[in-house]
Amino acid sequence: MIDVSVTPVFGDRSADSTVTMNGIKAADKVSADFADRVTSGVRVGYAAEKDNSTFGGELGLSVGDMRESAVTFGLGDRYRF
């Protein structure tokens, strides 16, 4: 199995905030992006079945334009009674 995805994000992706403190006549504006423009990923999986038993695994990678890439993996084993 191979799964490829591309997910665009529409709308406002940033947050602006003004930080103040009581008794001090100063303010600071803070801005931060909280979402990628586009996130993409790919996942590869494998499954083998014999009689009532199934075994499989998967490996995935997701990337975006603002964050580091993320790698996921998994193993599965199933027995049907």
Q: pLDDT tens for residues 59-79?
A: 999 988 777 788 999 999 999
According to DSSP, the β-strands at 38-50 and 2-8 are antiparallel
CB atoms within 10 A of CB 61: 14
- The predicted-structure confidence for 20-60, as pLDDT tens digits, reads as follows 888 888 889 988 877 788 888 999 999 999 999 999 999 99
Contact assessment for residue 38 and residue 66, using Cβ atoms and an 8 Å cutoff: no
- pLDDT score for 36: 80
How sure is the predictor about 11, in pLDDT bands with cuts at 50, 70 and 90? confident
Say what the pTM is.
0.58
- pLDDT score for 4: 93
